[in-house]
Structure 1
Amino acid sequence: MTTKTSRFGPAALVTAAFIGPGTVITASLAGANFGYALLWALVFSVFATMILQEMAARLGIVTGQGLGENLRTLVTQPLLRWPLLPLVIAAIVIGNSAYQGGNISGAALGADALFGHISVIRHWQAASGLNLWVLLLGAVAATVLWFGRYQWIERCLIVLVLLMSLAFIGTMVLTKPDVMALLNGMFLLKLPAGATLTVIALIGTTVVPYSLFLHAASAAQKWPKARLDTTTALSASRADIALAIPLGGLISIAIVSTAAAAFFGSGQQLDNVSQLAHSLTPLFGSASTWCLALGLLAAGLSSAITAPLAAAYALAGILGKPLDLTQPLFRVTWLLIILCGVLLASLGIRPIQVIWFAQVANGILLPLICLCLLLAMNHPVLGQYKNTFWQNVLGVAVLLVSLLLSGRSLALAFAVV
């Protein structure tokens, strides 16, 4: 490929993973309730994500293995190994099964806003009692993963990331944000009253543990040791991260900005993304509503593909199985997660207990995975590609922030506060 899309690589999968319906909802609420004041949290999230994802990609390229395989190999202390590996499986596999329902439901909302007015579709759904979009989107995700080789899946997700970029940034332009307020929000640290939980949510939806598994495994497949010079591969990987991750941050900033322009200071209460989409038409014209709906469709579908893929990479790696998309265990893992998501979205079930468990497991998992990643990046097996002093300093800083987020997340899950 000689087009600009060839500059994208595995980091685009990370962007596709963290820009999902959860991020759209969180960013929308942040903009509606606090205007542009919390944009600095997204700027921090982008830098933290780049630090961790660079380490994960470097680990995958140098060792030729995913993070799951490296955890299995490098974590040999029984007191750490046996609690950690089952926790990773539980948090990544079970947690992604719970969140998959939200991914598909979010994409279905976007599809319905775009095409739900078509009479044939409306009558079919009324007669059957089924949500056509949920079934169709689940089938699309399964088809991409079943028939796709890594390169094909990567290109599909790059297209979705570019589509999200055009849709959400286009919506922001149509809503004509206050540019000075936007810049102040990005670079001046402010914490309005009652904004603490929103800051945690903004960071937590961007810096997520399963993206580390996804990135390490996909980087190992994108730049295999036997074919490419390691230094060249690392250079390409860092350029990929520098392009794709900030683009994801820009998408999140665009969503915050859109909600701020539409709702902040209006006295209206924003409860969901559908309400935001419907409110844009009288304020900024139908084009803004269509852009937002298209972005939500792309965000939900991209996460509906990457969440099962990341879970399959994590489980296969930890169990010592090949990271091969055609292997039975790999296919069974992502297929079960997609089926769980379709079922939850179709029945309108809010899996409170499963999501509660996923929140607890991920709250524990994020700092643990950060710690294990830092230990792995200082292992002698990496040779000259081990972390430098400053890379360790930055990694420890992100680890400390993840501990704070973890403590708050667990406190909320157990209703301590």
Structure 2
Amino acid sequence: MERIASSKSFFKKLLAVILAFGPGIFAIGYTIGTGSVTSMIVAGSTYGMQLLWVLLLSCFFSGILMYVYGNYALLTGETALYAFKKHLKYGKVIAILIIIGISFGQWNSLMGILGISSNIIFEIIHIYFPVVGDYQYEVVLTIALVVIAIMYGLLMVGKYTFFEKILVVFVTIMAFSFLISLFMVYPLPIDVAKGLVPSIPKVEGGKMMVAAFVGTTMAAATFLSRPLFVQGKGWTIKNLKQQKKDAIIAACLVFFISATIMAVACGALFYQGQSVTKVLDMVGVLEPVAGKFALTLFFFGTLSAGLSSIFPCVLIAPILVADYQSGKLDTTSRQFKIITLFACLFALIVPIFGANPIEMQILSQVFNVFVLPLVIIGIILLINNKKMKSKHKTSSFINLSLFCALFFSCIISYNGILALINF
């Protein structure tokens, strides 16, 4: 009886810790979706652990940017795009360019996410009902319609706390699924160490993969939306320490989960000489290596990653528009409902035309890097203006980190342009 009571107490404590997670859960939802899973699996299966250094740098800079954007919101009460428009000389132009760029990137990503998630659900159904294999297009499209309709229905609930709880469930399932898979298939320690030494794969698609990595782990949408999610959480200037802790935990979890996915792909696919080109390849190759249990876990992990990303991707456009207009998000407004409906319809493009969601997903991640320098420049200018300095002086470490992040993002954006030209 004592053992049962202690185990119940442990699970209650674990549940309390998970549910206490703040706006950082949205950072994980934005960052680790099927875009990230796809990029990590393709990279791990094709290049092993060679790009681990890119992931580490991206997550470090992401943590800094989440912290700075969150702090600015708590210290000033202003959100990102509203502050750009209010305080910067060309703030309106910068804000509008950011809205267009991020919405385009996230909606393109949404198409791939829905396509991959629908294909994964189809494969699960196909295992138990082989007869559906003759009607793949029709079944995948029907699944996509049902999934996006359910997600839109949940969005109509219109409460931050409700969105947060759903994301907590998806992200937790995803993290545990990939972690357990890692115990079954894992890379050599020497390959993990080598992966921390900067190098770019000198093969076709290497530059695009680096850009996709940064596009998915240093997602501009994550930083810009953070002030509104901090507001939604009800945090004030009294929660500065909590906000900092939340940003650090979110960045660490993004690195840990993403590195785990890459490591599983490296251990299961790279050493076997297998590469990923289709949705089924991402999980099907695992079965002979790790067995049906690992295959099922990977199915659920990837599916949870996809479902956890649909919410934030659909939310991003109304969030940015509301941010620009007033700095307040009204999830019950007609504007919110119309924009989210359009995003849901846009997401159906890949399932309707039967396009390869893997290619669309990686391309969409590359597009995300082009807005990133603007987002970093904007916050550097905001935290270093005279009004802000009189209230709160930014440390030299944060400023140096932001300029390093800007330099890094410019190099990756240039790399992304070269990759798209070659593509």
After TM superposition, the score normalised by the length of structure 2 is 0.87
* Aligned equivalent of 2:415, options 391, 408, 417: 408
Task: Give the equivalent residue in structure 2 for 1:34.
Answer: 47
CA distance in 1 between partners of 2:285 and 2:364 (Å): 33
Tell me the secondary structure at the aligned position of residue 78 of structure 2: coil
Sort the Cα spacing of 1:344 and 1:53 in 2 relative to 1 into closer, same or farther, 3 A: same
> What letter corresponds to residue 232 of structure 2 in structure 1?
Q
Aligned to 1:295: 301
Q: Which residue of 2 aligns with 1:334?
A: 340
Q: Distance in 2 between matches of 1:410 and 1:335?
A: 31
* Cα-to-partner distance string for 1:302-347 (whole Å, 9 max, x where unaligned): 1111012122111111133631111221222222111210243233
- 2:49 match: secondary structure: coil
Q: Distance in 1 between matches of 2:415 and 2:197?
A: 23
Q: Determine which of 387, 390, 412 is the counterpart of 2:397.
A: 390
Query: Who is 1:159 aligned against?
Result: 169
Letter in 1 for 2:220: P
- SS of 1:147's partner is coil
- Per the TM alignment, residue 198 of structure 1 is displaced from its structure 2 partner at its CA by 2.7
Long gaps (5+) in structure 1? none
1:9-28 equivalences in 2 (<5 Å): 9-28=22-41
Cα separation, 1, equivalents of 2:363 and 2:54: 26
The answer to whether the aligner puts 1:203 opposite 2:214 as a matched pair is yes
2:230 is the alignment partner of 1:219:
yes
The answer as to 2:73 corresponding to 1:66 is no
State how far apart, in whole Å, the 2-side matches of 1:102 and 1:358 are: 8
Q: 1:313 aligns with which of 299, 315, 319?
A: 319
Determine whether 1:43 maps to 2:49: no
The number of aligned residues is 406
| 3-state DSSP of counterpart to 1:271 | coil
The alpha-carbon deviation at position 118 of structure 1 amounts to 4.3
**Alpha-carbon separation, structure 2, partners of 1:125 and 1:196:** 37
- The answer to whether the Cα contact below 8 Å between 1:111 and 1:294 also exists between their aligned partners in 2 is no
Shift of 1:191: 4.1
Q: Please point out which of 137, 140, 144 is paired with 2:150.
A: 140
1:98-155, CA deviations, whole angstroms, 9 ceiling, x for partnerless residues? 2211111122233223334344994996796662321122123212211141011111
- How does the TM-score come out when normalised to structure 1? 0.88
> Is the Cα contact below 8 Å between 2:286 and 2:294 reproduced in 1?
yes
Partner Cα separation in structure 2 for residue 355 and residue 35 of structure 1: 20
Does 2:181 align with 1:174?
A: no
42-51 or 168-177: bigger deviation: 168-177
Which whole-Å CA distance do the structure 2 matches of 1:385 and 1:281 have between them?
55
Counterparts of residues 75-114 of structure 1 (less than 5 Å)? 75=88, 77=89, 80-114=90-124
Partners of 1:186 and 1:120 in 2: CA distance: 41
User: What is the rounded CA distance, in whole Å, between the counterparts of 2:209 and 2:355 in structure 1?
Assistant: 25
Structure 2: unaligned runs, 5 residues or longer: 1-11
